Amino acid sequence: MSSELLYPIMPLYLNSIGFSIVLIGLLEGIAEASAGLSKGYFGKWSDESGKRLPFVRIGYFLSAISKPLMVVFVFPFWVFCLRTIDRLGKGIRTGARDAILANEATKENKGKVFGFHRSMDTIGAVVGPSLGLLYLYFHPTSYKTLFVFALIPGLFAVAISLLLKEKKFEKKHSKNNSFFSFLKYWKTSTKSYRQLVKGLLLFTLINSSDVFLLLKAKSEGMDDTWVIGLYIFYNLIYALAAYPLGLLADKIGLKKMYTIGICLFAMVYIGMGTFSHHLIIGGLFLIYGLFAAATEGISKAWISNHCNNEDTGTAIGTYAAFQSIFSLLASVLAGIIWMQLGSNMLFLFAGISSIVVAMYLFRCKFETEINAN
């Protein structure tokens, strides 16, 4: 809720204090790259330290405290630093948090555990922007106040994390503690882990930013209110579906659920490249919410089944680091295709390509899962 409260507000605020579109893009790119790459490093660090909770608490605290400071220090250099610290907080907590979820779960309920997490996380992505837009309706351009409001749920998240109790596990000793040392895990990981991550990253290269879906809706004649409404609607469907689809994944298998999710993605993208009717676009955003619910948490649960308990933070963090790089490449590639061949070709290409990835993952025969608790 704290982060998503500011998601649609951030570019408006940055623009109001003199940031150009180019600077905003550069800022967001650096911030997201910092978050993505740091997930691998801090995930590995949490494995080696034998502790998870300090990383979760510090990560949430840095994200919470950096937001209100952005309206105190408005010089571009400090805004860059604070926005990077905000996303760095996400990088610090992600690997450790997902490792806690994986180690608290069993083979029979991992889909349920990660699905519940995605539901709760995405409810925040619905409530946050809704509150932000409601406030701006009555107080237009009062952006700074929202940054202070965002501190409150952020500190609540830190306070709640203090109630958790740590499950101790054996420390790992490593001679290489450089920032990119987590990359060595790729060589020591299981064959099934590498095979799975290759497939997931291949799909990431096809799955560009959600901004392109919103831009497509905008280009088909929808006004700003409808476009923002579609974003909130998508998150609402995602939040409502993630938990039940997690339960279903435990029954039919994580692999089947994830490949079903990719097929839903293919339907959305082929549909966006074929139809322009506003009602159909609305229906495609509903399906897109189901796709996210069937893949986001499921992918991490699936990965956690192909690594040792003591390597869970590193395994998920390494995947997340690679994913951030591939996501950037995907958005750049999507932008080039849109400019050169048109939006319809972009969506048709991505939709058809995703079917190929689904076939690859479905046909793969992974080795016996080693971290099923």
Tens digits of residue pLDDT in 227-277: 878 888 998 999 999 999 999 999 999 999 999 999 999 999 999 999 989
Range of the domain at 84: 2-160+183-363
> Is residue 169 assigned to a domain?
no
Mean local confidence (pLDDT), 49-61: 91
What is the C-alpha separation between 141 and 16, in angstroms, rounded?
A: 9
Q: Which long-range contacts (CB under 8 A, 24 or more apart) does 352-356 make?
A: 352/266, 352/270, 353/206, 354/203, 354/206, 354/207, 354/262, 354/265, 354/266, 354/269, 355/262, 355/263, 355/266
pLDDT at 369 exceeding the cut of 60: no
Distance CA 263, CA 42 (A): 33
What DSSP designation does 337 have? Answer: H
Percentage of the chain with pLDDT > 90?
Answer: 37
Asked whether residue 342 is domain-assigned, the answer is: yes
Kindly indicate the confidence band of residue 370, based on its pLDDT and cuts at 50, 70 and 90. low
CATH of residue 268's domain is 1.20.1250.20
**pLDDT grade for 366, boundaries at 50, 70 and 90:** low
Give pLDDT, residue 104. 87
Mean per-residue pLDDT, 209-224: 83
172 pLDDT higher than 70: no
Count of domains forming the chain = 1
Q: Residue 50: which region, alpha, beta or left (left: phi > 0; alpha: psi -120 to 50)?
A: left
Q: Is residue 238 part of a domain?
A: yes
Asked if the structure places residue 173 within a domain, the reply is: no
Please check whether residue 177 lies inside any domain of the structure. no
Burial of 354 (0-12, 13-18, 19+ CB in 10 A): buried
Residue with tokens 């938990």: 243
What is the C-alpha separation between 102 and 94, in angstroms, rounded?
A: 12
CA–CA dist 40, 88 (Å, integer): 12
Sign of CA dihedral 290, 325, 34, 14: negative
Query: In the predicted model, what is the mean pLDDT of the chain?
Result: 86
Q: What is the pTM (predicted TM-score) of this model?
A: 0.82
| 89 in a structural domain | yes
CA 320 to chain centroid, in Å, comes to 9
Residue 368 lies in a domain: no
- pLDDT tens by residue, 267-302: 999 999 999 899 999 999 999 999 999 998 999 999
Q: Report the percentage of the chain scoring pLDDT > 70.
A: 92
Q: Could you tell me which of 327, 305, 292 has the C-alpha nearest to residue 36?
A: 327
Residue 226 lies in a domain: yes
pLDDT at 175 over 60: no
Q: Are 233 and 286 in contact (CB under 8 A)?
A: yes
CB contact at 8 A, 159 and 324: no
